[in-house]
Amino acid sequence: MHISTIFKPTRHLIVLLYFMVVNTSAFSINHYRQKAEAISGQIVAYSNDPLCWNGNGYWSMVIRVQQHKHISSRLIRVDFSYPCGKSPDWVWAQSQVKKFRLYRQRDYDAALEGELLADAERRARDFQTKAVNDDIQEIPYIRIWKYPPGIEPFTLPFGQILPCYHSLDLPYLPVL
């Protein structure tokens, strides 16, 4: 028996699996494109995970929505990933109202957690003082939120459940 006859069925199986994956991926992308909606709003806060996974950092932004008939909350959360060591342009630019192409992710709705950067810095100073006087304790991970330039500081609704969206323009890549 020649080796090519052994691998011939395997080759057909690999080709079949390839087409199934490609078609499933195309279906998923088209599914989200069809369900995407244009939402106007302004980024009022953002947070990024300091860790890098698979070459991507994981970010969240809170958007203040401009009058939208399908959204009951005035604030929504958008999760996305971005290449490690880089930041979206809007982190440094004056925050403006713009359109976002988003699709709803109800399974990811969650209470807004974390603290503002100023509060985190104050807590870090307090911790450093305590660490000098006492034994060092482990600090739990807390998501740190920042305001983009031009946003008047306001109290973020920590503990309140915000509707979650993902962006077509800033995809959320899974951690592998």
All structural domains of the chain with their residue ranges: 1-35, 37-114+146-176
Is the pLDDT score of 22 beyond 90?
no
Grade residue 38 by pLDDT with cuts at 50, 70 and 90.
very high
pLDDT surpasses 60 at 12: no
The mean per-residue pLDDT over the stretch 55-67 comes to 91
First to last CA, the chain: 40
The answer to whether residue 64 scores a pLDDT higher than 90 is yes
Encoded tokens for 79: 């999760």
44-58, 75-89, 114-128 — which is least confidently predicted?
114-128
Residues paired with residue 96 on neighbouring β-strands, in sequence order: none
pLDDT-derived band at 163 (thresholds 50, 70, 90) equals very high
Q: What is the mean pLDDT of the chain?
A: 77
pLDDT > 90? residue 53: no
Reported residue count of the chain is 176
Closest residue by Cα to residue 147 from 124, 112, 115 = 115
| Cβ–Cβ < 8 Å for 11, 82 | no
